Chains A and B, each alone.
Chain A
């Protein structure tokens, strides 16, 4: 009896009891489809998250002033201290850092927040957050200039009152009109100023978090030169800076070097210190978290598969008992023990493979639907594309075959070892 004959025999006996075959497969179908669906969803999420963070720049290290940890623990109830000018990062500190690691640092991207407010023009209005930035800020934040130009060092040195606004602000205030060279009045709490628009950038939908505001109420950032902002805020330093590392530098490892250099300036600071994190480490930790989640759920699915496999074994044992006489007859007709064993293992494999294939199809469909649901739930901000994980399909196929062999072997062996005379006499 060759392999093809074996498969033929397996289908014949499965067809004789279709309902039972289907019920037996159910465990495998559930297990495999769960694995595939979860892998697909996990995969889609990882891809989406990674893309998102990649956009934010994996080789950037964000350096910021934070309250010392022991200050948090023993600090005043309800909040801590306000930073004053002496607590902030200064140009000297950054220059020092650059001197120590000239080959590792490409540039610093700097920002000073001025505040939230509005600009109005007749009945039209737009919300904005005013931010003083240097030229490098454009790169680290992936700002796409659609018209005009971004703020540069020259603007900063002469503390010009120029602004780069979002296309959303432009469409709210100016409509189709060309805004370059036009002035807008920016009204913040406790500050009012007139700025000339020098550029327009494309406002991206905010990365995460719900975007509930309508087009008219949307808050976008408006960028003014760094030193202009420092002048308004009466500060010389920065609460936060982004270090753009050179290509090939491991940003995660570099964070320690950065804090090492900068915290020397804070050894005598009572309340504050420097902390740093890299996008790369964020991506790593989120990816590993997702992988962990995937693994845990996959383990649960594996248990489902195990239960399914035991179900297959159970049914095979029942079926072999029922077919004892048939086994005796086959032996009388010339079947060797090996051929009987092969027949029943193939039968178990066929059950598991059919179950596995149905499971893969159901799993892919579930994965696509699940990914769409997550995509919806996240407010449509993040682009979730269902990406079917090919290794998981190969794994599932191999796994269902392995289940068939593993759980089919014992019953098949039992059948093979039946004494032909006892089997023929079986009632």
Chain B
């Protein structure tokens, strides 16, 4: 089953103005449940724009998008917010932890908006911090954590509402290769042990190679799609996840 189905996604900026800018030129993309997909491409090719549309932070100018079988484009903002909170987990390049709150509270945040009772919130946050091996830093403020530690907390936060999809936009971009490796291993763990669908944007070809499928964007078009090593190594890779011609 496909968790993400994008068809003919067009994104334009400055519509109707002389400087109208088309960033995505009709993207067709399906992502299967439990797939680990990476998107690469040069700077300005539209990767983040596509990711924001997938994550329901942005609406496409044209095209269709179903997430988990639900047509999203007709939904009002409030419904999209709820869907985003429940079905999507974001991991950012710059971590984006909230400064005045400790790691535990940051991880609890998505559950706050998902109306999870306080006790359950705390228990789940503690559990997630254990998974990313940050339990001992639960009470630390973000400014007391290293970049890699922050990103691990951010990943735990992305997992808070047990989302269907984790969207990571250059999660290792701000980290040294060693720490980046550690974060990448966590993603593999989430993929393999928890069956999470992961969409990873990266500039690092080697990291992209580890995933099941690699999409290359260029000036708003998908110009290449190939299997990564994960495709062969992991039996869970669905048969339909084939590279388009």
Chain A interface residues (CB < 8 Å from chain B)? 1-2, 5, 9, 12-13, 15-16, 325-326, 328-339, 420-421, 424
Q: Which residue of the partner chain, among A326, A332, A335, contacts B90 with CB atoms under 8 Å? A: A332
Given A2-B115, A325-B96; 12 other pairs, CB 8 A cutoff: A1-B112, A12-B100, A16-B99, A329-B96, A333-B110, A333-B160, A334-B81, A334-B85, A335-B81, A336-B82, A337-B77, A337-B78
Q: Collect the chain A residues with CB atoms within 8 Å of residue B109's CB.
A: 330, 333
Q: Collect the chain A residues with CB atoms within 8 Å of residue B161's CB.
A: 334
Q: Collect the chain A residues with CB atoms within 8 Å of residue B230's CB.
A: none
Q: Collect the chain A residues with CB atoms within 8 Å of residue B196's CB.
A: none
Q: Collect the chain A residues with CB atoms within 8 Å of residue B78's CB.
A: 336-338
Q: Which residue of the partner chain, among B81, B84, B92, contacts A337 with CB atoms under 8 Å? A: B81
Cβ of B52 within 8 Å of any chain A Cβ, yes or no, is: yes
Q: Report the tally of A-B residue pairs with Cβ distances under 8 A.
A: 68
The answer to whether B100 touches A332 (Cβ under 8 A) is no
Cβ of B55 within 8 Å of any chain A Cβ, yes or no, is: yes
A46 to B160, CA, bound (A): 62
Known contacts A333-B157, A335-B81, A336-B81: A13-B100 contact under CB 8 Å: yes
The number of chain B residues with a CB under 8 A from chain A is: 28
The answer to whether B113 touches A339 (Cβ under 8 A) is yes
Taking the closest CB of chain A, its distance from the CB of B94, in whole angstroms, is 9
Q: Which residue of the partner chain, among A15, A334, A421, contacts B113 with CB atoms under 8 Å? A: A334
Q: Collect the chain B residues with CB atoms within 8 Å of residue A5's CB.
A: 112
Taking the closest CB of chain B, its distance from the CB of A177, in whole angstroms, is 82
The answer to whether A332 touches B113 (Cβ under 8 A) is no
The answer to whether B98 touches A326 (Cβ under 8 A) is yes
Taking the closest CB of chain B, its distance from the CB of A347, in whole angstroms, is 12
Residues 53-97 of B, flagged 1 when their CB comes within 8 A of A and 0 if not, give 001011000000000000000000110011011100010100010
The answer to whether B96 touches A336 (Cβ under 8 A) is no
Cβ of B22 within 8 Å of any chain A Cβ, yes or no, is: no
Q: Which residue of the partner chain, among B55, B58, B100, B157, contacts A15 with CB atoms under 8 Å? A: B100
A337 to B82, CA, bound (A): 11
Cβ of B241 within 8 Å of any chain A Cβ, yes or no, is: no
Known contacts A333-B157, A334-B161, A337-B78: A12-B101 contact under CB 8 Å: yes
Cβ of B114 within 8 Å of any chain A Cβ, yes or no, is: yes
Q: Collect the chain A residues with CB atoms within 8 Å of residue B82's CB.
A: 334, 336
Taking the closest CB of chain A, its distance from the CB of B56, in whole angstroms, is 9
The answer to whether A424 touches B81 (Cβ under 8 A) is no
Taking the closest CB of chain A, its distance from the CB of B13, in whole angstroms, is 11
A312 to B92, CA, bound (A): 33
Of residues 9 through 36 on chain B, the ones whose CB sits less than 8 Å from some CB of chain A are none
Known contacts A334-B82, A337-B81: A424-B92 contact under CB 8 Å: yes
Taking the closest CB of chain B, its distance from the CB of A8, in whole angstroms, is 9
Q: Collect the chain B residues with CB atoms within 8 Å of residue A338's CB.
A: 78
